[in-house]
């Protein structure tokens, strides 16, 4: 059982759940709280938040039980994808990391396949319940797409040029995007209907419900996740080039060479850094954002770039990938600071 849990990669699953919680409670709720504080400052009444009476629609719209089901759906499908990836990568892993192979040794192949099918089915069911109970049936396409993409990635896409990296990056970007897709349209409907602020003197105000800026935030987090994941997949391909080449894979470092793979990874890290600097310069001029982005996000990105440039062994490439993962975690963590922005 412990080895089967290791196949699911619990740390990665925890990061997925944390990211979705940060989008809901950090970004969405923080954005609303920030708007409320701006209202209080501009009203000139000297009132505090505790003095206001807020309509029931103020806050995240997806009921907590359904949000937990949504997180469970994403986590279960991701766990199933990790297991099936190791199932089909057994021969590659025997070359790249012979001491860490689990499928076929401590976990039988049929058990791994059964676990994949059970977790995928449970994840799809959880996603279907949330889509049904919220009336957002079109969003059921997300877990269905994820299950199919993870299967084809493990069986075929991973061995093809570029498409495998793009598949993982797209699925990574869907994590924050999924939370936003369930929350923001529901917020728009709720605010259009009854989201009102009542002051102690009986005055009532309706908060604007366009949420275009909130969409920009969610898409920004998704874009960061996409590019950072693309880089990390390249770093993993460079680390695993020996086993991938033996299995006939056509990853970028095999098809185009290690030098091109490093150059592409460094260019994308540079794109992330430049984008963050521009965002910090144009939109986030407060000291908190300045230091958090500079030290917490750009710092690990620069370290990852340096390790990628100098990497010559598998361990060094993996270290660069771990630094990129750290940048992805701290990047998601910025959502918790949105409520404190001016």
pLDDT of residue 282: 93
Which pLDDT value is given to residue 105?
A: 87
pLDDT digits (tens, 9 = 90+) for 218-242: 999 999 999 999 999 999 999 999 9
**Which 8-state DSSP code applies to residue 54?**
E
Give the residue with greater pLDDT, 45 vs 41.
41
Q: pLDDT at position 188, please?
A: 84
Instruction: State the Cα–Cα distance between residues 315 and 258, nearest whole angstrom.
Output: 15
Of 16-20, 72-76, 87-91, the least confident:
87-91
| Integer angstrom CA distances of residue 267 from 168, 270, 302, 334 | 19, 5, 12, 23
Element (H, E) at 235: helix 212-239
| Percentage with pLDDT > 70 across the chain | 89
- On whether the CB atoms of residues 177 and 146 are closer than 8 A, the answer is no
151-171 pLDDT, tens per residue?
A: 999 999 999 999 999 999 999
Q: So what's the pLDDT on residue 187?
A: 87
Return the pLDDT at 225.
98
Structure tokens at 277: 């600097």
pLDDT band at 34 (very low <50, low <70, confident <90, very high): confident
DSSP assignments along 175-217, one per residue: HHHHHHHHHHHHHHHHHHHT-EEE-TTS-EEEPP---HHHHHH
């Amino acid at each position: 059982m412990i080895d089967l849990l290791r196949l699911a990669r619990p740390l990665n699953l925890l990061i997925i759940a944390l990211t979705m919680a940060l989008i809901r409670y950090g970004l969405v709720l923080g954005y609303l709280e920030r708007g409320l504080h701006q209202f209080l400052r501009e009203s000139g009444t000297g009132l505090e938040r505790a003095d206001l009476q807020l309509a029931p629609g103020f806050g995240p719209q997806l009921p907590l039980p359904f949000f937990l089901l949504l997180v469970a759906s994403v986590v279960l499908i991701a766990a199933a994808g990790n297991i099936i990836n190791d199932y089909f990568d057994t021969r590659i892993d025997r070359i790249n990391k012979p001491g860490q192979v689990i499928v076929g040794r401590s976990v039988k192949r049929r058990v791994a396949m059964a676990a994949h099918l059970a977790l995928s089915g449970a994840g799809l069911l959880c996603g279907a319940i949330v889509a049904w109970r919220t009336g957002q049936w079109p969003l059921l396409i997300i877990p269905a797409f994820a299950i199919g993409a993870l299967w084809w990635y493990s069986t075929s896409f991973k061995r093809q040029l570029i498409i495998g990296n793009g598949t993982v990056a797209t699925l990574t970007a869907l994590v924050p995007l999924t939370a936003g897709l369930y929350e923001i349209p529901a917020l728009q409907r709720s605010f259009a209907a009854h989201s009102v602020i009542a002051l102690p003197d009986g005055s009532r105000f309706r908060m604007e419900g366009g949420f275009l800026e909130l969409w920009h935030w969610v898409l920004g987090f998704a874009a960061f996740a996409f590019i950072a994941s693309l880089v990390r997949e390249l770093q993993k391909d460079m680390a695993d080039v020996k086993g991938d080449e033996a299995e006939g894979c056509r990853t970028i470092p095999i098809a185009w060479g290690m030098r091109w793979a490093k150059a592409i990874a460094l260019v994308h890290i540079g794109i992330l850094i430049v984008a963050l600097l521009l965002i910090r310069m144009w939109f986030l001029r407060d000291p908190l954002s300045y230091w958090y982005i500079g030290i917490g996000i750009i710092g690990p990105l620069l370290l990852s770039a340096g390790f990628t440039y100098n990497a010559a062994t598998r361990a060094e490439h993996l270290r660069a990938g771990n630094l990129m993962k750290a940048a992805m975690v701290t990047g998601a963590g910025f959502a918790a600071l949105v409520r404190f922005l001016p």
